[in-house]
Amino acid sequence: GGVRTSLANSEHLAKLCAAQTCTQQEHPILDYDKDAGECVCSSHPCWNDDGLEHTCRGKFGFPFLTFFYNESKHLVCECSSFAHYGSTYISRDLCPGHRCVDPEHPVLDYDEDSGGCVCKSHPCWHDDGRRHTCSEKPDFPILKMRYEEVSGRLKKVCECGISFEKDQSFPIFDYDKPGADPDEADFEDDSEEF
């Protein structure tokens, strides 16, 4: 049997898109287009919010670009202290007005059984007793989960992906990291006394 992959944090989305992964920097988010009825690789919605490109560079302790859709399905972009890999389909089409702000349950998902929206812990935090993290990989801070289908069985794969800043030419600096204190500048005073 061949290998099929799916990349998502939402288990609902992973089921819809069991044969896809997104590897292009310009379109890193696996999502579902309900009008076309197919899975697509999309850019972060905050990279073009009616012509405005959002960024979280220099947002002390809040370096991660996140989004949700409010009750009227209007995009809201924010900077967060924890990484977020979201889906426009889940957030706008299935769960408008819902958002997950608890860092222990950051994943917005759709529960098919209850027909409701839920905030879940990251699926890579409970991988056969192992809690995956990307905190030691500043160039790849977004923890992602994908399924590979091998011989008819799904295998969970956890990996670290690029940040959701559109311009990847700037590294994430120490002062951008969660918990950074802007009042504790780490520099030497190079002023000279006369």
Q: What is the pLDDT of residues 77-108, one digit of tens each?
A: 999 888 777 899 999 999 999 999 888 888 89
Position 168 pLDDT exceeds 60: no
Residues 6+ apart with CB under 8 A from 104: 121
Confidence grade of residue 28 (pLDDT, cut at 50, 70, 90): confident
- Amino acid 179 reads G
> pLDDT category, 183, cuts 50, 70, 90?
very low
Mean pLDDT of the chain: 78
The reported pLDDT for the residue numbered 161 is 76
Lowest-confidence pick of 94-108, 129-143, 161-175: 161-175
Give the per-residue pLDDT at 2. 38
**CA distances for 98 relative to 13, 82, 109, 115, 170, angstroms:** 16, 17, 10, 14, 31
| Per-residue model confidence (pLDDT) at position 6 | 36
Q: How confident is the model at residue 20 (pLDDT cuts 50, 70, 90)?
A: confident
132: phi then psi, degrees, rounded to nearest 5 = -75, 150
Least confident of 28-37, 61-70, 177-186: 177-186
Furthest-apart CA pair in the chain: how many Å? 77
